[in-house]
Every structure is written in structure tokens, then in C-alpha cells.
Amino acid sequence: MAYNEFLAGRIRRIFNEKRTAFEEKKMMGGLCFLVDGKMCAGVVNDMLMGRIDHAIYEEALTKKGCREMDFTGRPMKGYVFVGPEGIDADRDLEYWVQLCLDFNPKAKASKKKE
């Protein structure tokens, strides 16, 4: 699966403007941005993939372009996809990336495979 390079560049710019250290990994058929070694946000096709707080998850699903992340066929609580209609404007993309950054310190890191 390909991912939208332009969207990835917009996310990079936001991280850089916020002086947030991050790394990138190609995974899950797209590009993931890791902060403090934890998946924070990503790009799959032309959608933002976001990891957000469970406490605001249901409310987030009511926002324009947002839906459950169902990458495996089952919804993954705390992860959302936001389509182009919800992230076309820079301020909208910044809103979603900030939600991901706000949750990142609370997020659990995945277990490392040996």
C-alpha cells in the first residue's frame, strides 16, 4: 500500500514546528511517526492514522472525516483514521496531530520482539 507523501510532509512540518523529536517507520502499509519510541500518528493511503486518548475517542468519531481504525477488520480502540475532508485545512491537521501528541506520554509502548 502506498501513502500520501504530501500528507507525510505536512505532518513532519507540524512535528518540527512543535520541536518534537520523532522517527519514521514504514509499517502497517504506510508511514508511522513514533515519538518517544511509541506510535503517535501515521499516514495510510491519504488518511491520517492517529493514536488518541480513550477518554475522547467517542467524541472524536463525531468529527468530520473521522472513523474507527479498522485496519485488521476489527476496530482498534484509541486509533482513528481521518480522511482528507477532515485534514485538508492546516489547522484541522494540526488539531489531530496535537491530539496524538497529547496522548503520547500516556500511551504504552509496544513490547519489543526478541
Q: What is the pLDDT of residues 91-109, one digit of tens each?
A: 999 999 999 999 999 998 7
No. of helices (H) and no. of strands (E), the chain: 4, 6
Half-sphere exposure for 105 (CA within 13 Å, toward CB)? 3
The model scores a pTM over 0.75? yes
At residue 5, the 3 state secondary structure works out as helix
Q: Which domains does the chain have, with CATH numbers?
A: 5-104 (3.90.1150.30)
Quick one: average pLDDT of 14-28? Answer: 94
pLDDT tens digit sequence for 66-92:
999 987 788 888 999 999 999 999 999
Given pLDDT bands bounded at 50, 70 and 90, which one contains residue 29? confident
The answer to whether the beta carbons of residues 81 and 49 sit under 8 Å apart is yes
Mean pLDDT of 13-18: 97
